[in-house]
């Protein structure tokens, strides 16, 4: 058995970021013992206010050298660049683009004990994954759009063959590794686009079709971005893996999160060929920052995704075992009402939820 240790670059960030990040670290240390070493790194809107840097070069270099990155949240209201865009988001986007984290993986999974706003759906009744292209689409224009004489602004939607091939390949391989959609057990990739209207999306779909040829055991399905919002509410059990352009993925992943208990329990993994960043899909929630009131669940479940990704890369069963134990412990804390966070109808504090998960691990 290997005794390898893994270096995790950790950026607490802003708002509730430090609270949820530290809660997740506490759970990771309890489950993983001395397998993980943590680099605590500066970054975010608060750091920008003090230093003028949202992502210090030291932080970026440590993230690039680490085995994985775990992030709390970033962004503070009113801390914006002269063009009006948010500083905190820039931390995130710089890491995404500079580390080429092209697959933003957003599981939509209703856990036992968690109430969905969709009537008739209980724990286990919703289980699919949104794979959002994370390095181009409409986001390729961030910081590059046209702003003219305070009367004209435009951003372009960029679809490249490489960018689409690799995110589609990721989606089909993910579908091959899953057990298929809940409704029929079929391994399926649904391409979410607006190919009926825009050539960029018709190009996206055509490349997904090409990639599908290499994955005959996975069914391909198509849904326009407007229509899929209806299906995600009316028949979520049909979905297995959804692949979408950046902006569409950003939008439908929040809808998916809402159907599975909300942003406070929705994890994410932003994955490239060499690096990966894991964080809850929520934001920095400054309105409840510093009150120990946030739920650490999304960050804890993102840490589970991180351990599984590390196991995929290093083939270290200790990581997979720790991931399973944390996921089971977190699930028990919710399903047995041991410590239910406020966003899920309970009154447990952030630190209490983390403590309960650690006890359940024990
Ligand atoms: C997300 C967020 C980010 C995005 C922000 C924080 C840059 O909304 O990760 O979904 O727009 O992608
Ligand atoms: Mn978003």
Q: Which of 271, 301, 335 is the last residue of a domain?
A: 271
Whether residue 197 sits in one domain with residue 115: yes
Whether residue 286 sits in one domain with residue 200: no
pLDDT tens string 205-214: 999 999 999 9
Residue 186 designated active-site: no
Residue 90 designated active-site: no
Instruction: Give yes or no for residue 2 having a pLDDT over 80.
Output: no
Q: Quick check: CB of 130 below 6 Å from ligand 1?
A: no
Whether residue 248 sits in one domain with residue 305: no
Instruction: Give yes or no for residue 166 having a pLDDT over 80.
Output: yes
Locus of tokens 């063009």: 83
Q: Quick check: CB of 250 below 6 Å from ligand 1?
A: yes
The total of other beta-carbon atoms located within 10 Å of residue 167's CB is 29
**What is the rounded CA–CA span in Å between residue 130 and residue 27?**
26
Residue 226 designated active-site: yes
Which residues fall inside 5 Å of ion ligand 2, going by CB?
Answer: 250
Residue 121 designated active-site: no
Whether residue 154 sits in one domain with residue 21: no
Q: Quick check: CB of 215 below 6 Å from ligand 1?
A: no
The total number of structural domains that make up the chain? 2
Whether residue 199 sits in one domain with residue 128: yes
Whether residue 109 sits in one domain with residue 235: yes
Q: Quick check: CB of 42 below 6 Å from ligand 1?
A: no
pLDDT tens string 124-153: 999 999 999 999 999 999 888 898 999 999
Q: Quick check: CB of 93 below 6 Å from ligand 1?
A: yes
Domain containing residue 201: CATH number = 3.40.718.10
What is the domain extent for residue 197? 103-271
Whether residue 125 sits in one domain with residue 244: yes
The arithmetic mean of pLDDT across residues 102-122, rounded, is 97
pLDDT the model gives residue 36:
98
Whether residue 226 sits in one domain with residue 356: no
Q: Which of 271, 294, 311 is the last residue of a domain?
A: 271
Catalytic residue among 37, 58, 209, 226: 226
Whether residue 152 sits in one domain with residue 36: no
Catalytic residue among 6, 48, 102, 139: 139
To test the pocket of ligand 1, the residue of 17, 89, 244, 278 to mutate (highest count of ligand atoms within 8 Å of its CB) is 89
Reported as half-sphere exposure (CB side, CA atoms, 13 A), residue 166 has a value of 16
Whether residue 345 sits in one domain with residue 326: yes
Q: Which of 271, 300, 331 is the last residue of a domain?
A: 271
| Whole-Å CA distances, 3 to 35, 109, 179, 317, 318 | 8, 33, 32, 11, 9
pLDDT tens string 259-318: 999 999 999 999 999 999 999 999 999 999 999 999 999 999 999 999 999 999 999 999
pLDDT the model gives residue 320:
97
Whether residue 113 sits in one domain with residue 74: no
Comparing 86-90, 178-182, 250-254, 351-355, the range with the smallest average pLDDT is: 86-90
307 closest CA partner among 59, 36, 108: 36
Q: Quick check: CB of 284 below 6 Å from ligand 1?
A: no
Whether residue 226 sits in one domain with residue 202: yes
> For the purposes of burial, counting CB atoms within 10 Å of the CB of 290, is it exposed (0-12), middle (13-18) or buried (19 or more)?
exposed
To test the pocket of ligand 1, the residue of 92, 103, 132 to mutate (highest count of ligand atoms within 8 Å of its CB) is 92
Residue 254 designated active-site: yes
pLDDT tens string 37-84: 999 999 999 999 999 999 999 999 999 999 999 999 999 999 999 888
């Amino acid at each position: 058995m290997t005794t390898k240790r893994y270096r995790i670059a950790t950026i607490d960030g802003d708002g509730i970021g430090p609270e949820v990040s530290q809660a997740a670290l506490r759970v990771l240390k309890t489950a993983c013992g001395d397998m993980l070493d943590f680099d605590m790194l500066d970054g975010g809107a608060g750091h920008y206010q003090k230093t003028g840097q949202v992502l210090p070069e030291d932080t970026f270099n440590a993230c690039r050298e680490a085995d994985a990155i775990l992030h709390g949240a970033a962004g503070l209201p009113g801390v914006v660049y002269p063009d009006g865009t948010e500083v905190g988001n820039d931390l995130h986007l710089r890491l995404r683009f500079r580390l080429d984290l092209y697959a933003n993986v957003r599981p939509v999974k209703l856990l036992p004990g968690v109430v969905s706003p969709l009537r008739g759906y209980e724990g286990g009744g919703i289980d699919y994954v949104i794979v959002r292209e994370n390095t181009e689409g409409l986001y390729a224009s961030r910081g590059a759009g046209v702003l003219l004489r305070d009367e004209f602004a435009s951003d372009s939607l960029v679809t490249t063959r490489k960018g689409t091939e690799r995110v589609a390949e990721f989606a089909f391989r993910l579908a091959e590794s899953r057990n298929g959609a809940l409704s029929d057990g079929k391994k399926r990739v649904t391409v979410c686009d607006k190919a009926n209207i825009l050539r960029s999306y018709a190009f996206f779909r055509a490349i997904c079709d090409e990639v599908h040829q290499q994955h005959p055991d996975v069914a391909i399905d198509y849904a326009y971005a407007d229509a899929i919002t209806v299906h995600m509410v009316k028949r979520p059990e049909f979905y297995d893996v959804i692949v979408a352009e950046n902006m569409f993925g950003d939008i439908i992943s929040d809808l998916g999160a809402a159907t599975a208990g909300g942003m406070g329990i929705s994890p994410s993994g932003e994955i490239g060929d060499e690096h990966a960043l894991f964080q809850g899909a929520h934001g920095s929630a400054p309105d409840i920052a510093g009150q120990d009131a946030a739920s650490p669940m999304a960050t804890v479940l993102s840490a589970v995704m991180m351990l599984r990704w590390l196991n995929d890369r290093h083939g270290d069963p200790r990581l997979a075992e720790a991931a399973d134990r944390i996921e089971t412990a977190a699930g028990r804390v919710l399903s047995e009402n041991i410590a239910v966070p406020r966003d899920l109808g309970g009154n447990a504090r952030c630190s209490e939820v983390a403590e309960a998960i650690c006890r359940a691990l024990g």
